[in-house]
């Protein structure tokens, strides 16, 4: 196993100044000459004869679902699958919630087919935005029921509709999924409702269709993902903008997000208005940098002018480069502190991505946190697209590594990252250069589910994952 260690090069000033161009000479290693075939992590990737997904020896995949497949409720599997999470269900089953990043004019990929031919008598009240009956918003979520023992998909159906560009989101400790709209579309001639909200979706296979009720107190902005700290129910949120912020939501009633709460933005303590994008080479914030933080309370969080991030930055909040995937890791598997990991897709001077780690204060969300503040760390910033090419969705594996999806311009990989910041390749999209999305493990840790967003394929990957 040849793994690239952050201790070897991410903190090396020589490698940093070279932008990794001289990495092999510097370290006397050939370790990332060809990231797709180098022996790393679980081993070299083998060419998939099916032309779908290259994986290490001993691993295999099955195709669970594809855009256009018939669903249980007579509709079609929507296209552009994105963020996902899994939930334990009775009788050894697993429920998968899957986002669909669709707009109102994406009818060729929507659940009602081309021209919305299957719309028929579908109840208008199930839509968040029915588009006056002519241009319904087609984003939303589907729910899948998977039998772990047989490896068979037993069913799939629509369970949220009428939203836009449902990109990522995150699971909650109380067993629901928060689906996020990556848009700030306003109501107008084609849209009945403002967009840019989070929506809570049931993960109960037998439950009725989820009511499309926006979580307005969690802000209206270009949402991407969320993560929930289970002991406090505090929700952390990313914003997919080049000048976005990192937010947290303090709920009035833990587990009841509809009851409202306070939305805040992260600031570096003692350095208001910090720019953490690292877009200039030789930045003052190299990988491994750690910051005490404070949180700034925001007002007018529905932001009709789409200025929430601007007002937050003016008040001292830190600026990030396209916050995207986010996941909570409890730290138990690796003996470390619990933390929230999140990705900034365009971070670093090569703009190939950053991975940040936030360790909440023991007194998170209380007045006492000022005495022992939360800590933000720039966990990984490789600045070399052979290592990470536009990191996007991510999850925390059962053994404590991160698994992230790429959304770059060339071949797209699933990338593993150890708690020490070591990188390795897990899989490669062999079908095309579409982004990989929605990586998430089954509750028992035996299966990794992931999507190829275009043309829209959901896969189940099994193999000798680490215990």
Sheet holding 45-46, edge to edge: 45-46, 53-56, 423-429, 413-417, 402-406, 391-396
Residues linked to residue 12 through DSSP beta bridges, in sequence order: none
What is the predicted pLDDT for the residue at 59? 98
pLDDT score recorded for residue 40: 63
Is residue 274 in a domain? no
- pTM, 2 dp: 0.91
What confidence score (pLDDT) does residue 386 get? 83
Q: Is the pLDDT of residue 6 over 60?
A: no
Q: What is the mean pLDDT of residues 41-53?
A: 95
Enter the DSSP assignment of 115.
Answer: G
C-alpha 179/C-alpha 261 separation (Å) is 18
Provide the pLDDT for residue 364. Answer: 97
Cβ atoms 403, 422 nearer than 8 A: no
Cα gap 45→43, rounded to integer Å: 6
pLDDT value of position 371:
96
At 23 the pLDDT is: 27
- % residues pLDDT > 90 (the chain): 84
Residue 199 lies in a domain: yes
More confident residue, 187 or 286: 187
Segment 419-448 shows an average pLDDT of 96
371 or 8, higher pLDDT: 371
For the chain, what is the domain count?
A: 1
Report cis status (omega within 30 of 0) of the bond before 455: yes
User: How does residue 69 score in pLDDT terms, banded at 50, 70 and 90?
Assistant: very high
162's enclosing H/E stretch is strand 152-163
Average pLDDT of the chain is 90
For residue 127, give both structure tokens. 């839509």
For residue 190, being part of any structural domain is answered with yes
Tokens 């590594």 locate to 401
Report pLDDT for 333: 81
For residue 335, what pLDDT band results from cuts at 50, 70 and 90?
confident
Within 10 A of 3 (CB to CB), how many other CB atoms are there? 16
pLDDT given at position 84: 98
CA 240 to chain CA centroid, nearest Å:
11
**Quick one: pLDDT at residue 225?**
98
The average pLDDT across 312-326 equals 98
Average pLDDT over residues 204-219: 95
44 assigned to some structural domain: no
Q: Which domain holds residue 95?
A: 70-214
Residue 467, pLDDT score: 58
pLDDT at 7: 36
Q: Is residue 317 part of a domain?
A: no
pLDDT at 208 over 50: yes
Q: With beta carbons less than 8 A apart as the criterion, state whether 414 and 59 touch.
A: no
User: Per DSSP, what are the bridge partners of residue 201?
Assistant: 177
Report which of 415, 271, 399 is spatially closest to residue 355, judged by C-alpha positions: 415
In a domain, 316, yes or no: no
| Cα separation, 237 vs 323, whole angstroms | 9
Q: Is residue 2 part of a domain?
A: no
The pLDDT assigned to 90 comes to 95
- The predicted-structure confidence for 110-157, as pLDDT tens digits, reads as follows 999 999 999 988 999 999 999 999 999 999 999 999 999 999 999 999
**Residue pLDDT, tens place only, 222-271:** 999 999 999 999 999 999 999 999 999 999 999 999 999 999 999 999 99
The Cα 171–Cα 178 span in angstroms is 6
* 246 located within any domain: no
Would you report the helix, strand and coil content of the chain in percent, each value rounded to 5?
A: 10, 40, 55
Instruction: Name which of 98, 226, 101 is nearest 173 in CA terms.
Output: 226
Is the model more confident about 67 or about 285? 67
pLDDT at residue 304 greater than cutoff 50: yes
Q: Is the predicted pLDDT of residue 434 greater than 80, yes or no?
A: yes
């Amino acid at each position: 196993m040849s793994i690239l260690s952050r201790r070897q090069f991410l903190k090396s000033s020589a490698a940093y100044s070279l932008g990794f161009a001289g990495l092999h000479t510097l370290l006397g290693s050939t370790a990332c000459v060809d990231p797709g075939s180098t022996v790393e992590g679980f081993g070299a990737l083998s060419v998939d004869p099916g032309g779908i997904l290259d994986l290490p020896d001993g691993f295999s995949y099955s195709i669970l679902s594809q855009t256009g497949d018939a669903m249980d409720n007579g509709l079609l599997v929507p296209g552009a699958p994105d963020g996902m999470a899994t939930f334990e269900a009775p009788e050894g089953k697993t429920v998968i919630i899957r986002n669909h990043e669709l707009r109102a004019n994406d009818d060729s990929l929507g659940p009602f087919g081309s021209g919305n031919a299957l719309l028929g008598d579908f109840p208008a009240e199930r839509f968040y935005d029915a588009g006056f009956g002519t241009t319904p918003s087609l984003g939303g979520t589907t729910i899948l029921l998977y039998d772990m023992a047989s490896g068979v998909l037993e069913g799939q159906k629509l369970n949220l509709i009428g939203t836009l560009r449902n990109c990522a989101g995150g699971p909650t400790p109380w067993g629901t999924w928060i689906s996020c709209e990556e848009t700030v579309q306003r109501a107008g001639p084609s849209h009945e409702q403002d967009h840019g909200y989070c929506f809570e979706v049931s993960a109960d296979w037998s439950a009725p269709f989820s009511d499309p009720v926006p979580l307005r107190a969690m802000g209206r902005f270009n949402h991407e993902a969320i993560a929930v700290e289970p002991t406090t129910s505090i929700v952390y949120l990313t914003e997919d903008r080049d000048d976005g912020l990192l937010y947290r939501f303090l709920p009035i009633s833990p587990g009841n997000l509809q009851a409202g709460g306070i939305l805040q933005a992260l600031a570096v303590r003692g350095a208001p208005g910090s720019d953490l994008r690292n877009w200039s080479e030789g930045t003052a914030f190299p990988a491994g940098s750690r910051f005490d933080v404070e949180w700034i309370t925001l007002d007018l969080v529905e932001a009709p002018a789409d200025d929430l991030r601007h007002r937050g930055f003016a008040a001292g909040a830190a600026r990030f480069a396209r916050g995207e995937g986010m996941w909570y890791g409890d730290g138990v598997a690796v003996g470390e502190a619990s933390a929230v990991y999140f990705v900034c897709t365009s971070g670093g001077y090569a703009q190939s991505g950053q991975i940040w780690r936030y360790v909440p204060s023991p007194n998170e969300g209380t007045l006492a946190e000022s005495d022992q503040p939360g800590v933000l760390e720039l966990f990984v910033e490789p600045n070399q697209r052979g290592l990470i090419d536009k990191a996007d969705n991510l999850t925390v594996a059962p053994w404590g590594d991160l698994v992230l999806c790429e959304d770059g311009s060339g071949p797209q990989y699933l990338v593993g990252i150890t708690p020490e910041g070591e990188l390795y390749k897990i899989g490669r999209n062999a079908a095309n250069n579409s982004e990989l999305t929605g990586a998430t493990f089954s509750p028992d840790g035996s299966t990794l589910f992931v999507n190829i967003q275009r043309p829209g394929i959901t896969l189940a990957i099994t193999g000798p994952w680490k215990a």
